[in-house]
Amino acid sequence: AQSVTQLGSHVSVSEGALVLLRCNYSSSVPPYLFWYVQYPNQGLQLLLKYTSAATLVKGINGFEAEFKKSETSFHLTKPSAHMSDAAEYFCAVRGGRSNTGKLIFGQGTTLQVKP
């Protein structure tokens, strides 16, 4: 079975500082990994996804993530935080031929950006 663990339920950074949100996965098959962002009272928006191509994945809004099989990690980064980045971030995994396409989400990380 697949699962993801997000380390740190709350991350606070200053505007302009590096953003690092951690995600570790567990999967018995090559995983498909995703990062989503959720603004208050809204659905989820896809930031980026890893589907076994390049290990460094670039997404929207300046975010990127690197797939590291040896560390079973898929951490999300952004070089310089903006106030508008404040939101809830979810890492998710989907994989395996027996899987119906459903996503398994991590616990979520709240990103706070201080002026």
Q: Report the interface residues with another protein, using CB under 8 A.
A: 32, 36, 41-46, 49, 51, 90, 94, 99-108, 110
- To which residue do tokens 């997404």 refer? 59
What does the H/E/C string look like for 40-75?
CCCCEEEEEEECCCCCEEECHHHCEEEEECCCCEEE
Phi, psi for 19 (deg, rounded to 5): -105, 130
Q: How far apart are CA 87 and CA 113, in angstroms?
A: 9
Cβ(92)–Cβ(76) under 8 Å?
Answer: no
DSSP label at 20?
E
